[in-house]
Structure 1
Amino acid sequence: MAEMTHVDDLDDPRLGDYVRLRDVQLRTKLESDRGIYLAEGEKVVRRAVEAGHRPRSFLMAPRWVDALADVLDRSDAPCFVLDEPRIEELTGFHVHRGALAALERPEPVPAAEVLADARRVVVVEDLVDHTNIGAVFRSVAAFGFDAVLLSPRCADPFYRRSIKVAMGAVFRLPHARLDDWYGAPTLLRDAGFTTYAMTLAPDAVPLSDVDTDVERLAVVVGAEGHGLSDHWQREADVRVTIPMADGVDSLNVASSVAVACWHLR
């Protein structure tokens, strides 16, 4: 059972995992160095623990201690209890869901292992916005796709904002970051995947016209703005677009993933 500890001193080193949560650059380095990630909110904290991730500590307002009592009962990590104004002072923002946990970051999984049993995957190139990464994971999970592959420059799916937007989908959805991004099309081709590059190119096939009767397929999307690289657009088996009404040139990348996953599910 977690040990309840009421803390008054915000400089207490035991609270170091929770400082300045809005400072993305600081948090990215700190969490990487310490091998942790932060989960926010009762549902997300619960899903992280249920997925088998090991808590390093909990931080919560008194009103959430009872709500997460069953989770705390299963852990020997300390639970630091602070009033909500003090949590806001420590973290740098209003934690309106009142509960946080620092958990041990899972070891990376090789792409070959992620692809081994997958039939439907989404491949993401250079998407650096944490909110969009979280939304992509949520859509991929919602429409029954099996996995996500990320380019080296993609945002961290285990960053607090990504996890929150994904509602914890990152905990159960296999994913891998590919170091050899240039060779990714060959990797997927050799694994038997047909690749569908989402693009606004004039020769792209409307999504409603693509052949979905393939054994293994990968939807490939790029970053907001410039979209997929020329390399991926050349190497993909099919270039695909989502037809839109006149005057609308594109969708948010996470919305595009949702539409494509629903159609190709």
Structure 2
Amino acid sequence: MNIIRLQSLSEPDVQVYSSLTEAQLRNRLDPDKGIFIAESPKVIKVALQAGYEPISLLCEEKHINGDAKEIIDACPDTPVFTGSREMLAQLTGYTLTRGVLCAMRRKSTADFRDLCRDARRIAVIDGVTDTTNIGAIFRSAAALGIDCVLLTPTSCDPLNRRAVRVSMGTIFLVPWTWIDAPISALKEMGFKTVALALTDKSVSIDDAALAAEPRLALILGTEGDGLALNVIENADYTAKIPMAYGVDSLNVAAASAVAFWELRIRNK
């Protein structure tokens, strides 16, 4: 074990856990040097199994031979910074979940065309900026058989710490990338696009025509403003989830789970 006991909150090697913003961690100018923070032993373990490289760990002393032991043993050469619960809470600004954080190196993202080449059901997240919703959408995508997730540049970073935590690590399981072209470009790859939106032309999510499509891209937008009009107009289908009690819509994360289940490939 490479255990380093912190003597000061200002030590430069732990700035990644305290003073760097999510944007600085992501490093938009040079994504290959980007970092993200994984939180809790379960989530860190999933990330390690998915091939993400650990840079350092931040762990409460009592968890070194407890909840974090398996993680530390799996990363014998990785520095483990430690201190009291109070010191680490002062450093990070919050009490650690299960007492351990891990700074990890980002991977290069794939071209969306490569990711979608053999996919049959994909999700497109368009303009969703709430980190909790992003994490929940990924968790549903993993559980319900979505082949990959694409995000428009106006969407939240999936490797945001809270998004990773809410996803329970499933962000490391579902292939994902940014789509740097109009969503309509998916049609050139043989996908039919379905915008989840309330319009006069929306069909029910259980419409047989949707389920019969061999390749389907489900477009999800923020529950506040919804999808942009041009996205809806350019989609092959517009679909809605039938509601009761006069409810007009669901949170985008809940709606994604319903849509993923209803439009899953049935003969896998």
Both proteins in one fold, TM over 0.5 = yes
Aligned-partner SS, 2:199: coil
The Cα shift of 1:125 comes to 0.7
The answer to whether the 8 A contact 2:193-2:235 is kept is yes
The Cα shift of 1:225 comes to 1.2
- CA distance in structure 1 between the partners assigned to 2:89 and 2:256 by the alignment: 34
Coordinate RMSD, CA, aligned = 1.3
- CA distance in structure 2 between the partners assigned to 1:56 and 1:201 by the alignment: 48
AA at the equivalent of 1:177? W
The Cα shift of 1:28 comes to 2.0
The Cα shift of 1:11 comes to 0.7
- CA distance in structure 2 between the partners assigned to 1:77 and 1:213 by the alignment: 49
- CA distance in structure 2 between the partners assigned to 1:52 and 1:64 by the alignment: 24
TM-score, normalised by the number of residues in structure 2? 0.92
The Cα shift of 1:209 comes to 1.8
Give the unaligned 5+ runs of structure 2.
28-32
Aligned-partner SS, 2:98: coil
Aligned: 1:105 with 2:106: yes
AA at the equivalent of 1:206? S
Counterpart of 2:40 in structure 1 is 41
Aligned: 1:83 with 2:94: no
The Cα shift of 1:127 comes to 0.4
| CA deviation profile, 1:13-37 (whole Å, cap 9, x unmatched) | 11111005xxxxx522320235100
Counterpart of 1:164 in structure 2 is 165
Counterpart of 1:19 in structure 2 is 18
Counterpart of 1:199 in structure 2 is 197
| Change in CA separation of 1:89 and 1:37 when aligned onto 2, cut-off 3 Å | same
The Cα shift of 1:248 comes to 1.1
The Cα shift of 1:74 comes to 2.9
Q: Sequence identity, in percent?
A: 38
TM-score, normalised by the number of residues in structure 1? 0.93
> Which sits farther off after the overlay, 213-222 or 29-38?
29-38
> Which sits farther off after the overlay, 64-73 or 108-117?
64-73
Number of aligned residue pairs: give it. Answer: 256
Aligned: 1:222 with 2:230: no
| Change in CA separation of 1:223 and 1:210 when aligned onto 2, cut-off 3 Å | farther
Aligned-partner SS, 2:103: strand
| CA deviation profile, 1:38-82 (whole Å, cap 9, x unmatched) | 001111111111111000000011232223333322321101111
AA at the equivalent of 2:192? T
Counterpart of 1:152 in structure 2 is 153
Aligned: 1:94 with 2:95: yes
2:22 corresponds, among 10, 21, 28, to 28
The Cα shift of 1:261 comes to 0.3
Counterpart of 2:30 in structure 1 is none
Counterpart of 1:137 in structure 2 is 138
Counterpart of 1:23 in structure 2 is none
- CA distance in structure 1 between the partners assigned to 2:160 and 2:188 by the alignment: 31
AA at the equivalent of 1:82? G
- CA distance in structure 2 between the partners assigned to 1:71 and 1:3 by the alignment: 13
The Cα shift of 1:195 comes to 1.2
